[in-house]
Homo-oligomer: A and B are copies of this chain.
Amino acid sequence: MTTIYNFSAGPAVLPKEVLQQAAAEMLDWHGSGMSVMEMSHRGAEFMSIMDAAQRDLRDLLAIPENYKILFLQGGGLGENAIVPMNLMGRRPDAPVDFIHTGSWSGKSIKEAQKYATVNVAASAASNGFTAVPARESWQLSKDAAYVHLCTNETIDGVEYHFVPDVAEQTGGAPIVADMSSHILSRVIDVSAYGVIFGGAQKNIGPAGLTLVIVREDLLGHALPVCPSAFDWKIVADNGSMYNTPPTYAIYIAGLVFQWLKRQGGVAAMEAQNIAKATLLYDYLDSTDFYENRVAKECRSRMNVPFFLKDESLNAEFLTAAKAQGLLQLKGHKSVGGMRASIYNAMPLAGVQALVGFMHEFASAHS
């Protein structure tokens, strides 16, 4: 049977070991006689799963003690509303600064306008969202409530490879970072951010779980219209159990965290991710048959959009790729072309197989 490599942008490939363990434990978790799906979230069994998941994540990202880890629901799009609902009670009249780098930050801007005055401090629209605007060009507000970044644009394939210093110009505004599609793929300094959030369905686990990492002083400032179930303070005070959490998704995320630790942690994953991305970008840059349009210093290690120069071959490319077990390579409809998402769980062998296929396909059609 052909080895399958799944390049979906999310929900996305998960480590095979994790799926094998989940299958083995499906009917009876650790002799409890229950599936994890059947456990009361307040029972000792699930509490141990929850605690381990939080502890492992704190280890993996070296999350300081003054940050809370929250497990929520509603995904990145939900957080686009939930973030301003939680933060704007702190300084209701202050503007929120956004850096517009692609589809996801664009959606965040639109939603935040329902709850706050938005200032687009910089936009990459003029270059077709192929680069992060240079830090010097950002027109930050001197009294910003917070500065919102999407540190990896899943659709546009643009990633921040720096942490911008915004405190001085904004009077100490915290950075809110949507890290949905690259969290756990690289070492980060959590203390540089006020809030980090992300949908789980890329590097963490199944869709339906949302991660929020928030500095404690930013809790307790929700707008009165914020639903209790999404009020970070209430969620934090209840250990992410104010409402029934997505227990099975948390269990799978916990298995992924254990797997990451077995791989050597986030630093080891980052080295592997650099190797994978370098292999693919180097090939793209070596040929005239394909192209990636993102500025080199802003290219995403996770999401690699690329185009066939002759787009009339797109359908044939996708069919031939699928026949070789290379799945879900079609680009997002807003960008077109192809996209290979190469998250943590994608092995180097998968990228090698992709590059091998691309080379063959190019040779056959040149």
The residue that A207 contacts in the complex, of B22, B33, B41, B115, with Cβ under 8 A, is B41
CB distance from A350 to the nearest CB of B (A): 12
Give the shortest distance, in Å, between A172 (CB) and chain B (any CB): 28
Partner of A16, one of B20, B27, B114, B206: B27
Chain B residues with CB under 8 A of A247? 11, 201, 206-208
Q: How far is the CA of A228 from the CA of B74 in the complex (A)?
A: 11
CB atoms of A243 and B41 under 8 A apart = no
Contact status A75-B111, CB under 8 Å: no
A3-39 interface code vs B (CB 8 A; 1 in, 0 out): 0101011111110100110111011000001110111
**How extensive is the interface on chain A, given as a class?**
35 or more
- Complex Cα gap A115–B141 (Å): 32
Shortest Cβ gap from A47 to chain B (Å): 13
What is the CB-to-nearest-CB distance from A34 to chain B, in angstroms, rounded to a whole number?
6
Residue A117, interface by CB 8 Å: no
A42-79: which residues lie under 8 A (CB-CB) from chain B?
A: 43, 73-78
Query: Which of the listed residues A23, A207, A249 has the most CB atoms from chain B within 10 Å of its own CB?
Result: A207
Q: Are A243 and B325 in contact (CB under 8 A)?
A: no
- Within 8 Å of chain B (Cβ to Cβ): is A304? no
Instruction: Tell me whether A325 and B81 are in contact (CB under 8 A).
Output: no
Chain B residues whose CB sits within 8 angstroms of the CB of A328 once the complex forms? 40, 43
Q: How far is the CA of A45 from the CA of B38 in the complex (A)?
A: 26
Is there an interface contact between A20 and B27, defined as CB atoms closer than 8 Å?
Answer: yes
Q: What B residues does A4 contact at CB under 8 A?
A: 33-34
Question: Which of B11, B201, B225, B246 is close to A225, meaning CB atoms less than 8 Å apart?
Answer: B225
On whether A40 and B10 interact (CB within 8 A), knowing A73-B208, A74-B230, A227-B82, the answer reads yes
User: Can you list 20 A-B contacts with CB-CB less than 8 angstroms, sorted by A residue number?
Assistant: A10-B244, A11-B37, A11-B40, A14-B35, A40-B328, A43-B328, A73-B74, A75-B229, A75-B244, A77-B228, A77-B243, A80-B229, A81-B227, A81-B228, A82-B227, A85-B227, A111-B228, A114-B227, A208-B246, A225-B225
Which residues of A pack against B, CB within 8 Å?
2, 4, 6, 8-14, 16, 19-20, 22-24, 26-27, 33-35, 37-41, 43, 73-78, 80-82, 85, 111, 114-115, 199, 201, 205-209, 224-225, 227-230, 242-249, 252, 325, 327-328
